[in-house]
Structure formats: structure tokens, C-alpha cells
Amino acid sequence: MTETMRAARLHAVGEPMRIDEVARPVATGSDVVVEVKACGMVPNLANVLANWESWYPQMPLPPRPAIHGLDPSGIVHQVGEQVVALKPGDRVYVNPGRFCGACHACSSGRPQACDHWTLGGYFGYNPNSLEMFKRYPFGGFGEYMLAPQAQVIKIPDNMSFVKGSRMGYLGTSYAALKKCGPLMGRSLIINGATGTLGVGATLLALAMGVGKIYAVARGDELLARLKALAPDRIEVFSNRTSSSGEFVKAKTGGVGADLMLDTLGAKAPLDSMLDAMKGVRRGGRIVNIGGTAGDLPVDVKWWMDEQMELIGSVWFTAAEGMEIAAMLESKVVDLSVMEPKVWPLESINEAISGVASGDGGFTYYAVTI
């Protein structure tokens, strides 16, 4: 007899999610079933559900009725017969990255370059993602989910399941910071620093030894909270009235910062990114992890003459997730400055509409199951 579970499912665009009884997944082979305890709520989820198919039609959503939920954490419930290092009862975070596992990119530890790269419970990157959704149709807004063992990351006892649901944004920032190269003593612009990605990037960059952070955002109040994390190492600037690039150049004797991380969200103005880029020094590196989109009007001769690098960074690997878990276990990174806002699964629609009610990246959102 098939066992069932509760799951929040989206049946049609524009409709609220419904709590349905659906078949519970069963683990076989190298797959794992996780009993979900908490799942992070993407601040932009309402926009994704309502507008993604018109904004980015080349990037498919999971077929409806769909169980969304990007950032699940919970307890291993069942393992397939070929699972090696996990057992029932393990506390885990499930990295939603899905990929073929057999191509050169996957074999090289770069799954985001796989032609099947997909974010389970969220969206895909090309039509091949439909095959990934078919194999792993479960996001985190349900009592149980199926996942490949290679994407299931053990989390420490001092990391609650709700805090575990913050791993996605932390991991995205961490992977981008690693692409910057060694941070010890270097200077870094974080554009959009008080947002969901920006606050985590600030905490991680400090832990990784960055010398100076130039934190750029709009709101003075949240910028002041950010500076309080490390007053001697963080300079803050509100870009509402003048140029952030000019501010950084003035603070560095006209030289500029070594590095830049752009964390702006979807539909944020590209002018802000372009302006901040002008604060990066000659030979600098710029890593983009935000969701803003469009054609960036960059002077390509400036790009060549200044020997600039622009790198795109999507999500993070399971290995990087393990590194973050170790940093949190040893208290190298302290997430206590962030406060969760939590809803039960039954209030999923209230949660989707309530994620704009916090204090930027100092608030994170989760659904508990």
C-alpha cells in the first residue's frame, strides 16, 4: 500500500498553493528520502511563480502541479541500497542542485556548467531541466523529498533546521567569494550589501580574512547595522544620491577596491551595478551572483585597458556546503545577527506573501513541516 504525505502544491499560475495528500517517495539506488523539517522561503518566490514564465521563458519551472521549496533541511528517513555515507537519523541539508553527474563538467566538480543544471523546487536553466524535474519532482514544501546522495549534506548539531534552511543563500555567497581568490587583507565592494545575499556575503568575507568591505546599498538604517558587525573593517555608502564607484575611489586614494561582489536582486537597476564596477581597481575582479538582468553597457575598451574580469557564479557545490557547515560548527561564522521568520506548512500562502516584511538580509524566512 502506497504511503502518502502532505505537500503544498501549485496547480496553476495565479492560484494559491494547496495542501494535498500525495504519494510519499521511496529511496532506491543512490537516492535518499529526507523527512523535511524546515524549508527556506525565497524572498522573490511570489514573483517567480507569477512572472517567471514570461520573464525568462527559456528557463522552465517544474511541471504543475508542482512541489516547490528551494532550501530544505531535515532528517534522513530512508536510503537506497547503494547509498554509502548517509543513514537514517542523520541531520542534513539538501542542496537543490540537480545535474547529470556524467559529463565532463560534472566529473570536474563544476556541476553548474552541466547542460542539465537545475535548481530543484525552483526553476531550470534550459529544456534539459525538465528531465531533472521528472527524476526529482519534490521540493522542500512537503513532508518528505527524494534527493541524490551526492547532494545531501550533513549539518552540525549547533545548526537548527530553520537555520539550515538559510544554507542556499550562504552557499551562493561563499562560492562567489571563493571565485574572488584569496581574500586575506584585500578590499571588496559588496553591491546590495544589506540584502539576502549581501549580509551573508559580509559575514563570510569577514571570516575569510577580507581587509576592508565597502558595503553599498540604499537604506541607511540597515547599512548602520551592517557596519556594526565590524566597524573598523566595513565602510558603508548609500547610493541613493551619488556614485558608489566615486565613493570607493575617494576612500582608496583614487585606486579602487581589489574585488567586487554584485548581489542585487531580480529587476534591480543595472545602473547600480555599472556604477559600483567603476570603483574596482585596475586588474580587478567582479563576481555577479544577483538576479538582475539585461544588457550591461560596458565600454569594452575600458574593460581591455583596465584588465578587468567579470565572472558569473550560480549557486554552490555540495563540497562548498560541507565547508560552510564546518565553519558554522566551529563558530568561525556566527549567524546570530540574523533572525528567522517562520510559518507552518499550512500557512504557505501567507509565507509567500509575507517575505517582504523583514529587515533586508538580517531576516530570513522559512516554512516548518
Asked if residue 35 is part of any domain, the answer here is yes
Please give the residue range of the domain that contains residue 97.
4-154+338-368
Pair 267, 204 in one domain:
yes
- Secondary element (H or E) of residue 48: helix 45-55
Q: Are residues 270 and 361 in the same domain?
A: no
Verify that 29 and 64 share a domain, yes or no.
Answer: yes
Residue 268 has pLDDT above 90, yes or no: no
Q: How confident is the model at residue 291 (pLDDT cuts 50, 70, 90)?
A: confident
CATH code where residue 138 lies: 3.90.180.10
| Same domain? 98 vs 235 | no
Q: Going by C-beta distance under 8 Å and a sequence separation of 6 or more, which residues neighbour residue 298? A: 274, 277
pLDDT-based confidence at 135, cuts 50/70/90? very high
Tell me, yes or no, whether 133 and 250 share the same domain: no
97 vs 61: CA distance, rounded Å: 14
Whether 119 maps to a domain, the answer reads: yes
The sign of the dihedral angle between the CA atoms of 330, 333, 339, 345 is negative
Hey, what amino acid is at 333? V
With a cut of 90, say whether residue 127 has pLDDT above it.
yes
Number of structural domains in the chain: 2
* Statement to judge: residues 241 and 141 lie in one domain: no
* Cross-strand partners of 7: 20, 142
**Per-residue pLDDT reduced to its tens digit, 294-319:** 888 889 999 999 999 999 999 999 99
3-state secondary structure 24-40: CCCCCCCEEEEEEEEEE
Is pLDDT at 258 greater than 90 in this prediction?
A: yes
Are 10 and 146 contained in the same domain? yes
Q: What does the alpha-carbon distance between residue 195 and residue 42 come to, in Å, rounded to a whole number? A: 12
Averaged pLDDT score across all residues of the chain: 95
* pLDDT of 241 above 90: no
pLDDT tier at 50, thresholds 50, 70, 90: confident
| pLDDT tens for each residue of 159-169 | 999 999 999 99
Please check whether residue 161 lies inside any domain of the structure.
no
Asked if residue 266 has pLDDT above 80, the reply is: no
For residues 198-227, give the mean pLDDT: 97
- At residue 355, the pLDDT reads 81
Confidence category of residue 87, pLDDT binned at 50, 70, 90: very high
Least confident of 122-126, 140-144, 184-188, 357-361: 357-361
As to burial, measured by CB atoms within 10 angstroms (0-12 exposed, 13-18 middle, 19+ buried), residue 130 is middle
What is the domain-level CATH number for residue 240? Answer: 3.40.50.720
DSSP letter, residue 360: G
- Are 8 and 79 contained in the same domain? yes
Looking at the structure, do residues 104 and 18 belong to the same domain, yes or no?
A: yes
- Can you tell me the mean pLDDT for 54-77? 95
Handedness of CA 114, 59, 178, 72 (dihedral sign): negative
Measured distance CA(143)–CA(4) in Å, rounded: 9
**Residues 150 and 103 placed together within one structural domain of the fold:** yes
Distance CA 258, CA 280 (A): 6
Evaluate if residue 1 carries a pLDDT over 80. no
d(C-alpha 276, C-alpha 235), whole Å: 14
Same domain for 63 and 200, yes or no, is no
263, 184: one domain = yes
Looking at residue 182, its amino acid is P
Query: pLDDT value at position 279?
Result: 98
Cα separation values, 6 from 2, 3, 63, Å: 14, 11, 18
| Nearest residue to 5 via CA among 74, 93, 67, 73 | 67
**Residue 136 confidence (pLDDT):** 97
